[in-house]
Amino acid sequence: MALRFANRQQAGELLAAKLMAYADRPDVFVLALPRGGVPVGFVLARTLYVSLDIFLVRKLGVPGHEELAMGAIASGRVRVLNEDVVQVLAIPDALIDRVAAIEQREIARREQHYRAGRPAPALSGRTLILVDDGLATGATMRAAARAVHHSQPARVVIAVPTAAPQTCAALQEEADEVICAMTPAPFYAVGVWYADFHQVTDAEVRELLAQAAQFSSSASTGDAHVPQ
């Protein structure tokens, strides 16, 4: 059995070691998927000395069968549809619009809550590193990668501490580079590979983003140091 990470901080440190080519570059942005991806992304951004923000994705569940995704909506009002599901079930546009509107309001609420009034960053022309604490099916990360391309970034990197081998392989089609630090098989679930896999709270997300914002502000003035 593969070794487990002690916690998300250790996972972020290991992941950062595999991404040092992106260190100290002003064009690089770490985009963490809340909530579990934020502690990992924080360590990654701090170690690489780059900026951190969040990228929210919400599944568009089929009404009455919410576990079945007919698509997803992401930060920036980007919508990605699962055309196979939409066509097979003959889901009308009006229904998709109604579900998307509900999820868009939730994304807006969470972004406001997490950022505490800080504006969303401009992503065009940047190198974006999408981060989560692990990938089982990879559905959310796949939606995030497709959505973030609408921002016209220069490069998209998917980076996670652990993932199912087949998921890591499949995501190669969604990004310019995919880094999965550990791909144990059988995979079971993301939480299996962490000794501490506590549920990250909204308060923790807000605190880490606030710390990262201060760090980015210091970096832009040339008066930064890597916080401990």
Whether 87 and 157 map to the same domain: the answer is no
pLDDT at 152 over 90: yes
Q: Say what the pLDDT of residue 2 is.
A: 64
Q: What is the largest CA-CA distance in the chain?
A: 57
Domain span holding position 67: 59-114
Is 3 a member of any domain? no
Whether 214 and 132 map to the same domain: the answer is yes
DSSP bridge pairs for 194: 5
Query: Cα dist. 166→72, 118, 186 in Å?
Result: 21, 37, 10
Whether 110 and 213 map to the same domain: the answer is no
Is 29 a member of any domain? yes
Query: Cα dist. 151→105, 122, 145, 158 in Å?
Result: 20, 8, 11, 16
Is 226 a member of any domain? no
Q: Name, in order, each residue with C-beta under 8 angstroms of 162's C-beta and a sequence gap of 6 or more.
A: 5, 11, 133, 134, 135, 180, 181, 182, 183, 184, 190, 193
Average pLDDT of span 39-62: 94
Is 13 a member of any domain? yes
Whether 208 and 143 map to the same domain: the answer is yes
151 three-state secondary structure: helix
Average pLDDT of span 175-200: 96
Whether 145 and 206 map to the same domain: the answer is yes
Higher pLDDT residue, 93 or 216?
93
Whether 151 and 162 map to the same domain: the answer is yes
Please state, rounded to an integer, the average pLDDT across all residues of the chain. 90
Whether 205 and 131 map to the same domain: the answer is yes
Whether 89 and 156 map to the same domain: the answer is no
Q: Say what the pLDDT of residue 140 is.
A: 87
pLDDT band at 218 (very low <50, low <70, confident <90, very high): low
Alpha carbon distance 203, 113 (integer Å): 9
Whether 50 and 100 map to the same domain: the answer is no
Give yes or no for a contact between 31 and 131, defined as CB atoms under 8 angstroms apart: yes
Q: Say what the pLDDT of residue 225 is.
A: 41
* CATH number assigned to the domain comprising residue 101: 3.30.1310
Whether 74 and 35 map to the same domain: the answer is no
pLDDT at 217 over 60: no
Give how many domains the chain has, as a whole number: 2
Q: Regarding beta strands 51-54 and 155-162, do their DSSP bridges make them parallel or antiparallel, or are they unpaired?
A: unpaired
Count Cβ atoms below 10 Å from residue 149 Cβ, excluding itself. Answer: 15
Give yes or no for a contact between 65 and 88, defined as CB atoms under 8 angstroms apart: no
Q: Say what the pLDDT of residue 1 is.
A: 52
Whether 80 and 191 map to the same domain: the answer is no
pLDDT at 121 over 60: yes
Q: Say what the pLDDT of residue 216 is.
A: 67
* CATH number assigned to the domain comprising residue 22: 3.40.50.2020
Whether 184 and 148 map to the same domain: the answer is yes
Is 224 a member of any domain? no
